[in-house]
Chain A
């Protein structure tokens, strides 16, 4: 299953026409202690770049933008009770939402893991 990354520090796992989206370990490290996560509701139609979720850390609120267009099939309900999963397991249990991909061509141009790693090293 290919995993893609964005310059906004989101990861996207794609399986068929379904995609799972979360924020990267680098992103959670930058945000610090997360106290609240708001994920989109099932059925929400998201355009690429639309505000999809909100992460509240002790420090500030940050928007998470949808890296691709699609229709939300499920938000991660576990984050309501345990927002700290985004800190402890950002790239597995701390996923944000899943959507049905409406235009697979939008995945072109996103980074793979190596490219993202190089990108992050350039930021520090």
Chain B
């Protein structure tokens, strides 16, 4: 065994750093921060999230806001989404694309009324800021809320828990957001997350985050959960992870994210990466596709493992691990389009062994979002 993965490096600390240590977290470097990877154990935290409510600290993520008279128009130069018609209080999943249609980052954009808020990946945030600043008009104000923490409360009991502390939040539905108050301080609460469960993401000033974390953790339905469970939960939910399932070498069509290429903008275009995206979407298709693979047995296939159809190498695992909910290993892989059909029997090579793996629909575990009208 090596200790390299446990090595400490010089990294920034989260506003809740001390709180995590008090809760028994093991801290690891991730995206430039010391972050909790687990508290009592990944499987226990994973199962708790699926059955109750878990508190995740995702303050490493970039919380940005774009404002100015032409903010919507300017954002539409970079995002393939319909920003101009996005109602106040609504959220969209979107992408930053290269000219060639590769994915620079995936993000959530929210119309807050006065700004367009963007939540971007922690590991990408500095590059995203540079990209936005380079391409947005000089009249546009780009604000980085680096003094705000971001907590995620996820699980079937999240709504009941948060409603007791922050009355009104249960009225939000999936991908809706609003301004609320807790202890006299403002919170920006979004009904969204990265686990496949119902839940919320809560932006709170770093001065007040401890009070909120304590109040949430005091509820017996809530336990803290770390990055380990966050990763196994999002994998089961079929949600791609930037830097692994998505890169600048991946495009929205191959990645199964064509829904992010807004229908209303497919003809009109006007965003970076539009022509290249339309070639893939409407004309040529793509050489490969992101698929879900279910494995038998217990040996997980990890990122980088090669995928075979017979003797032919047809793809690579981009994320993989053991699914605590399903009790067998699962993986996401980019495979040649010809082999991407549900039911296709493939093999994944792990340490010289060829493990049978079947293409299955994503998500592996059904989403439990509380949608409007449901």
Contact = CB atoms under 8 A, between A and B. Distances in A.
Interface of A: 8-10, 23, 27, 30, 32-33, 35-36, 38, 54-65, 83, 123
Nearest to A84: B43
Contacts of A8: 1-3
A33 B1 contact: no
A45 to B, nearest CB: 18
17 contacts: A23-B1, A27-B1, A30-B26, A32-B41, A32-B42, A33-B42, A33-B324, A35-B322, A35-B329, A36-B322, A55-B1, A56-B298, A57-B42, A59-B42, A60-B302, A61-B300, A62-B1
The 10 closest A-B pairs by CB, nearest first: A33-B43, A35-B322, A58-B42, A36-B298, A36-B299, A8-B1, A58-B322, A32-B42, A62-B1, A59-B228
Instruction: Describe A's contact surface by its main secondary structure.
Output: strand
A23 B2 CA distance: 12
Nearest to B297: A36
Interface of B: 1-3, 5-6, 26, 37-38, 41-43, 46, 228, 232, 298-300, 302, 321-322, 324, 329, 351
Given A8-B3, A35-B300, A65-B1, 19 more contacts: A8-B1, A8-B2, A33-B42, A35-B298, A36-B298, A38-B299, A54-B351, A55-B1, A56-B322, A58-B43, A59-B42, A59-B228, A59-B321, A60-B302, A61-B300, A62-B1, A62-B2, A62-B5, A63-B2
Most buried by B among A8, A30, A58: A58
A83 B298 CA distance: 9
Nearest to A53: B1
Given A10-B1, A58-B228, A60-B302, A30 B42 contact: no
Nearest to B322: A35
Contacts of B2: 8, 62-63
Contacts of B46: 58
Contacts of A58: 42-43, 46, 228, 232, 321-322, 324
Contacts, number: 60
A34 to B, nearest CB: 10
Contacts of A63: 1-2
B262 to A, nearest CB: 37
A94 B42 CA distance: 20
Contact of A64 (B1, B26, B228, B324): B1
B38 A32 contact: yes
Nearest to A35: B322
B5 A60 contact: yes
Contact of A56 (B5, B37, B228, B300): B300
B227 to A, nearest CB: 9
A25 to B, nearest CB: 13
B300 A36 contact: yes
Nearest to B324: A58
Nearest to A30: B6
A9 B3 CA distance: 9
A64 B41 CA distance: 21
Nearest to B351: A54
Contacts of A23: 1
Most buried by B among A9, A23, A36, A65: A36
B322 A32 contact: no
Contacts of A65: 1
Most buried by A among B1, B26, B324: B1
A36 B302 CA distance: 13
B1 A61 contact: no
Nearest to A51: B351
A61 B11 CA distance: 25
Contacts of A55: 1
Nearest to B353: A38
Nearest to B28: A59
Contacts of A54: 351
Nearest to B6: A30
